[in-house]
């Protein structure tokens, strides 16, 4: 592909991605699968990687973050980001209406959902996003531009170029993504986010924007803070205008003149509140007309022309039909209540976690009982209390044997959890494998839970090490597997062998060792061999490491099963040390400048660049007389020609690796 072909292909892809992105993210009406969408995005990334000069600031690829932002800078909001006054009853809303009538005579209102996320300001100059910041205390917030750029529903470039615009919106996590995230956190035995609002705030205020990118946040924009170049007269008009600019505005906003119509809209939203894709904790009523707003004014904290209505948490009675007990990755037994289905805050609820043995004892929950369920802004339903016991009911006893393998369960001192201690427990094995291959761990693409379950059921895998010894022919015979998918799987498995060390440590699924702790361990002990002999005391000295974490990790590495597993993984060719740290002292490329072009057979450009920098070299984007080497892959473009003209040595990937002395880490 030459640059002209690439330019055309990139333009076409951007148009398609834009179109389908609009369908999916803004209109909630996708025409193609997520997978196909991701594939187009990936193709575009490929082109942009090969021809970096074709990257535009508004390219959809620029939505996906990677760089770590250092620290949040303070941002002073030139228009304060005000709060809202809350109402909890219809009477208060009528009272609000009386005040508005007294002030302006004939008010008209717009009613919107009150999105439950965190408030941000977005600033655009000449139609390009220049800054995104949190509300903070309303006057000073934090600069989170890098993180906001990763949110796909935030336009990086507006459809019309206007000199300056500042808007306000709410960043949130959809209910669906929230439930997925919590499930993953529970699987990893991390403390899950309590509600979508916390999840949104926690995900946006990350130092590493690639984490924000993974969390799939969304935005609704509901206000213009400042605008230059156009005059708007009322709220509805401004929302329509924002929609035209490409913003995602509230899914419905209508103008009402009668307060009874406002109240029925509030009731309607309340009844439907659990059925929306976004979390909400109320409705907001705003005066539509801007001249009227000015007349009414603000207090020091909130506008007097708007009012929030907060819905009460909904509670309902139902019958507890059964208690199911599942086994988690580290063997923890978790009881789940199965209920007679009830409609609660807009969704049908038939299950809720009962947490652990203590929770059940404390509330004295028994099978057959009539219980009270509640769902608040929190979208996870919970058991508030037992209303009455079933006749002849008996206190519930947790099983004494693991429901999956039948081994006796134990309860360790000071812990609420019951646990199956059998490391061969199939339920545990499956959870363990799911964790092992997951994106934050070994990141083995194409090994979904369904495939892993089949592998376990068919006795093909008894430990994570077995993933590296799979008999391809047998895997191919499994349901829904074909030659192509097995090839892809094998490639992903192969690739995972050269992962950074922290991934392996995290993948081992050591209790209390999350991804962050794994990174700390890898930094301090840059090889598994060092970890196998490290003591708890040594680990506790790591900054950010607690006593429990150190104890848990040291115990784990001292187990004979661990040594055995590590040996098997090592035999399979899994990387056991951290190259980055170990090679820090190697400066063999010092003073050399490299230019990369084309597609390399094994390395991505990013990997090659990392290697060069690790060895003290520099990477530059254009060829000049100062260039030491050009590393050229397939379909190399104009840079190769230029290098030839200037007589600069051109390296293949193999030659490059020889130069680096890095043959052994080739994939």
- Is 361 among the catalytic positions? no
Phi, psi of 236 (to 5 degrees): -60, -45
* Token pair in block for residue 310: 């907060």
150 binds Zn ion (CB under 5 A): no
- Report what 64 binds from Zn ion, ligand AMP, none; CB cut-off 5-8 Å by kind: none
> ∠ CA 376-98-249 to the nearest 5 degrees?
50
The distance of closest approach from Cβ of residue 322 to Zn ion in the complex, given in angstroms and rounded to an integer, is 20
**233 touches 290 (CB < 8 A):** yes
The distance of closest approach from Cβ of residue 508 to Zn ion in the complex, given in angstroms and rounded to an integer, is 19
Q: How far apart are CA 564 and CA 562, in angstroms?
A: 5
The distance of closest approach from Cβ of residue 284 to ligand AMP in the complex, given in angstroms and rounded to an integer, is 4
**Helices assigned H by DSSP within 297-437:** 357-363, 426-437
425 binds Zn ion (CB under 5 A): yes
Pairing between β-strand 217-228 and β-strand 164-173 as defined by DSSP bridges: antiparallel
The distance of closest approach from Cβ of residue 85 to ligand AMP in the complex, given in angstroms and rounded to an integer, is 8
Give the count of residues interacting with Zn ion (CB under 5 A).
Answer: 7
Q: Which residue sits closest to ligand AMP, CB atoms considered?
A: 119
Q: Is 192 or 403 the residue whose CB approaches Zn ion more closely? A: 403
Q: Is 175 or 422 the residue whose CB approaches Zn ion more closely? A: 422
- Report what 420 binds from ligand AMP, Zn ion, none; CB cut-off 5-8 Å by kind: Zn ion
User: Which of these is catalytic: 8, 12, 71, 114?
Assistant: 114
**212 touches 126 (CB < 8 A):** no
Cβ contacts of 497 within 8 Å, gap of 6 or more: 468, 572, 573, 574, 575, 667
Q: Is 82 or 369 the residue whose CB approaches ligand AMP more closely? A: 82
CA neighbor of 412 nearest in space, from 571, 569, 552, 587: 552
Q: What is the 3-state secondary structure (H, E, C) of 578-621?
A: CHHHHHHHCCCCCCCEEEEECECCCCCHHHHHHHHHHCCCEEEC
The distance of closest approach from Cβ of residue 279 to ligand AMP in the complex, given in angstroms and rounded to an integer, is 10
Q: How far apart are CA 638 and CA 400, in angstroms?
A: 70
End-to-end CA distance of the chain: 26
Q: Is 112 or 369 the residue whose CB approaches ligand AMP more closely? A: 112
Q: How far apart are CA 58 and CA 349, in angstroms?
A: 42
Interface residues toward ligand AMP, by CB under 6 A: 83-84, 112, 114-115, 119, 135, 170, 222, 250, 284, 308
The number of beta carbons lying within 10 Å of the beta carbon of residue 163 is 12
Per-residue binding letters, 367-406, with Zn ion (x by CB under 5 A): -----------------------------------x-xx-
Q: Is 46 or 399 the residue whose CB approaches Zn ion more closely? A: 399
The size of the chain, in residues, is 667
- Report what 526 binds from ligand AMP, Zn ion, none; CB cut-off 5-8 Å by kind: none
Sign of CA dihedral 517, 518, 524, 530: positive
Q: Is 317 or 424 the residue whose CB approaches Zn ion more closely? A: 424
- Report what 662 binds from ligand AMP, Zn ion, none; CB cut-off 5-8 Å by kind: none
Q: Is 308 or 447 the residue whose CB approaches ligand AMP more closely? A: 308
Q: Is 115 or 436 the residue whose CB approaches ligand AMP more closely? A: 115
Strands (E), 311-381: 314-327, 332-344, 347-353, 370-375
Choice from 41, 75, 306, 420 touching Zn ion (CB under 5 A) = 420
Name the segment binding Zn ion (CB under 5 A); options: 133-141, 422-430, 485-493, 643-651.
422-430
User: Which residues are bridge partners to 167 per DSSP?
Assistant: 122, 224
The number of beta carbons lying within 10 Å of the beta carbon of residue 641 is 12
Q: How far apart are CA 366 and CA 666, in angstroms?
A: 59
The distance of closest approach from Cβ of residue 21 to Zn ion in the complex, given in angstroms and rounded to an integer, is 45
- Report what 16 binds from ligand AMP, Zn ion, none; CB cut-off 5-8 Å by kind: none
The distance of closest approach from Cβ of residue 301 to ligand AMP in the complex, given in angstroms and rounded to an integer, is 9
The distance of closest approach from Cβ of residue 658 to Zn ion in the complex, given in angstroms and rounded to an integer, is 50
Binding residues vs Zn ion (CB under 5 A): 402, 404-405, 407, 420, 422, 425
Residues with catalytic annotation?
Answer: 114
């Amino acid at each position: 592909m030459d640059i002209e072909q690439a330019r055309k292909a990139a333009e076409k892809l951007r148009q398609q991605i834009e179109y389908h992105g609009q369908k999916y993210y803004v209109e909630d009406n996708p025409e193609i699968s997520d997978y196909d969408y991701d594939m187009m995005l990936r193709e575009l990334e490929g082109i942009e990687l090969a021809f970096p000069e074709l990257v535009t600031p508004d390219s959809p690829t620029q939505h996906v973050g990677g760089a770590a932002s250092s620290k949040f800078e303070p941002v002073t909001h030139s228009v304060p980001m005000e709060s809202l006054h809350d109402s909890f009853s219809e009477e208060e809303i009528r009272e609000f209406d009386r005040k508005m009538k007294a002030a302006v005579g004939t008010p008209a209102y717009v009613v919107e959902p009150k999105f439950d996320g965190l408030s941000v300001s977005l600033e655009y100059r000449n139609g390009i996003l220049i800054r995104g910041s949190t509300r903070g205390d309303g006057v000073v917030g934090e600069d989170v531009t890098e993180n906001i750029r990763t949110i796909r529903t935030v336009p990086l470039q507006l459809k019309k170029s206007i000199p300056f615009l500042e808007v306000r919106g709410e960043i949130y996590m959809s209910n669906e993504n929230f439930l997925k995230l919590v499930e993953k956190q529970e699987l990893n035995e991390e403390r899950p986010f309590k509600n979508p609002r916390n999840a949104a705030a926690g995900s946006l205020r990350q130092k590493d924007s690639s984490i924000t990118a993974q969390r799939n946040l969304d935005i609704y924009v509901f206000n213009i803070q400042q605008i230059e170049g156009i005059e708007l007269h009322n709220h509805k008009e401004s929302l329509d205008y924002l929609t035209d600019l490409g913003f995602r505005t509230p899914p419905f906003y209508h103008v009402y003149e009668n307060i009874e119509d406002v109240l029925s809209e509030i009731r309607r939203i309340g009844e439907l509140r659990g059925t929306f894709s976004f979390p909400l904790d109320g409705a907001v009523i705003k005066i539509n007309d801007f001249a009227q707003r000015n007349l009414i004014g603000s207090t020091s904290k909130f506008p007097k022309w708007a009012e929030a209505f907060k819905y009460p948490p909904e509670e309902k009675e139902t019958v507890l039909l059964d208690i199911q007990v599942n086994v988690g990755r580290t063997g923890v037994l978790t009881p789940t209540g199965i209920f007679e289905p009830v409609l609660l805050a807009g969704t049908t609820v038939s299950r809720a976690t009962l947490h652990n043995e203590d929770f059940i004892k404390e509330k004295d929950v028994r099978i057959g009982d009539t219980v009270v369920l509640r769902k608040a802004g929190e979208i996870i339903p919970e058991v508030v209390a037992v209303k009455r016991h079933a006749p002849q009911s008996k206190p519930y006893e947790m099983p004494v044997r693991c429901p999956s393998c039948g081994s006796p369960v134990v309860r360790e001192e000071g812990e609420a959890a019951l646990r199956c201690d059998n490391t061969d427990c199939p339920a545990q094995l499956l959870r363990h494998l799911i964790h092992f291959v997951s994106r934050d761990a070994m990141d083995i693409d194409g090994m979904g839970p369904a495939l892993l379950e089949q592998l376990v059921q068919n006795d093909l895998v008894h430990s994570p090490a077995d993933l590296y010894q799979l008999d391809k022919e047998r895997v191919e015979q499994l349901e829904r597997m074909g030659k192509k998918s097995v090839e892809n799987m094998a490639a992903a498995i192969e690739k995972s062998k050269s992962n950074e060390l922290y991934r392996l440590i995290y993948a081992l699924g050591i209790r209390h060792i999350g991804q962050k702790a794994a990174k700390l361990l890898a930094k301090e002990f840059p090889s598994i061999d060092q970890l196998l002999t490290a003591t708890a005391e040594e680990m506790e000295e790591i900054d950010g490491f607690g006593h429990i974490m150190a104890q848990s990790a040291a115990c784990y590495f001292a187990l004979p099963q661990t040594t055995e597993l590590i040996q098997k993984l090592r035999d399979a060719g899994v990387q056991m040390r951290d190259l980055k740290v170990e090679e820090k002292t190697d400066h063999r490329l010092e003073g050399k400048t490299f230019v990369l072009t084309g597609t390399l057979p094994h390395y991505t450009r990013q990997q090659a660049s990392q290697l060069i920098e690790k060895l003290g070299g520099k990477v530059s984007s254009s060829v000049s007389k100062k260039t030491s080497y050009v590393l050229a892959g397939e379909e190399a473009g104009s840079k190769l020609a230029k290098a030839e003209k200037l007589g600069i040595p051109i390296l293949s990937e193999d030659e490059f690796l020889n130069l680096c002395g890095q043959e052994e880490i080739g994939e």
